[in-house]
Structure formats: C-alpha cells, structure tokens
Amino acid sequence: MPIPLTRQAIQLGLLPRLEIRHTSETQVGQIYMPRVNGLLLLGVLLLVALFRSSSALASAYGIAVTGTMVVTAMMAFIVMWKSWKWSPWAAAALIAPFLLIDLTFLGANMLKVLEGGYMPLALGGLVMLVMLHMRRGGGFFSASKGAQQTCPAGASMFEKKPLPRRHVYITSITKPPSATAYSRPRAP
C-alpha cells in the first residue's frame, strides 16, 4: 500500500510537520494523521454547505479530474526524460497525444469555473502557496519574528553530503548472525 501524499510532502519539507500515528505493526502505509483528517472533515462540510447538491459539485469535480490528468501527463514526461533517461523528443512523442486529449477536456471544463469550478483551483492554489512558503525555508515562522531557521538558505535534501559511519539496523531478527561486522570502522 502506498504511503499517503501528505506524509511524503512532509518528508520533502513541503508541508509543516504533523502528527503521524502508525496504526499497524506490519503495514508501512497504515497511518492516521489527526490534523489532516480534521481538515478533510472541515473541507467536506464546507463543500456540502456551499454547493448543497451533488449536481452543483459536477463542475468542481470535472476541473479537478481533468486537471489531475494534465498534471499526471506532464509528470510522466519528466519521469521519462529525467529518471528513465529517455530523449526529450521520444518522451514528448509518447506523452503528446495523451496531453492533447487531457488539455482538450480541461479546456472544455474551464467554461464551468464560475459555476463551481473555482473550488479545486482555489484549493490547489492554497496548497501550492503553503508548499512554496515551506520550500523557501520560512515554515510558519519568519526570521523577522526571531525564529531560528533549521536549515541554511538554498539547502536541499538532494544535496550529497557524507554521512557519519553510525548505523541503526531495524530488523525482526533478535540477534543478527554477525553484529560486529556492522560496527567495525572502515580503513581510510
């Protein structure tokens, strides 16, 4: 089971740290995040109060789904090009037909922005602003209020830094066959 997107965004430093409760000892993705669930509850209640019927939500749903399809196609292009080392032309040739169809659907749904389609656009914009703010290192405290920054400006989790030679191995084996093999220092 995949780990939820909110947890991944927290690990990447794109969202503030939130409480994560692990509900299973055997399944990695079985987690409970009380604040995220509370925000989802408030969001659902707000949507029900604003739209009052499922037919009124159709415009918001259409823009959300087609917008997700467009973003997924663009991210697939980036994965093919950067991670799989395809040439940009080969990746574009494969993704272009899908992206053309998805953009056509999104364009048709954009006519419904005033009928409720503004909701997923506003929510996506709000989440993007929080992520940009967190990514710049601001967190929820600015340096002008006296908060100390935990990482230097421009630091990235993708920077390659040497790690200290201390390791912790978490395993179900109570006594590894050769525990001293892991603790011997390496020769320089």
Per-residue H/E/C for 39-97: HHHHHHHHHHHHHCCCCCCHHHHHHHHHHHHHHHHHHHHHHHHHHCCCCHHHHHHHHHH
Closest alpha carbon to 66 in 33, 99, 36: 99
Q: Where are the beta strands (DSSP E) in 18-92?
A: 21-22, 31-32
Proportion of the chain above pLDDT 90, given as a percent: 36
Instruction: Out of 23-27, 56-60, 82-86, give the one with best mean pLDDT.
Output: 82-86
| Residue length of the chain | 188
Greater confidence, 18 or 89? Answer: 89
pLDDT given for residue 175 in this prediction: 55
The Cβ of residue 140 has, within 10 Å, a number of other Cβ atoms equal to 9
Averaged pLDDT for residues 166-180:
53
pLDDT given for residue 154 in this prediction: 45
Q: What is the pLDDT of residues 89-120, one digit of tens each?
A: 999 999 999 999 999 999 999 999 998 899 99
The contacts of residue 120 (CB under 8 Å, 6+ apart) are: 60, 63, 64, 67
Q: What is the pLDDT of residues 121-140, one digit of tens each?
A: 999 999 899 888 888 765 55
Instruction: Out of 47-51, 66-70, 113-117, give the one with best mean pLDDT.
Output: 66-70
pLDDT given for residue 55 in this prediction: 83
| 16 contacts 10 by C-beta, under 8 angstroms | yes
Residue 84 pLDDT > 90: yes
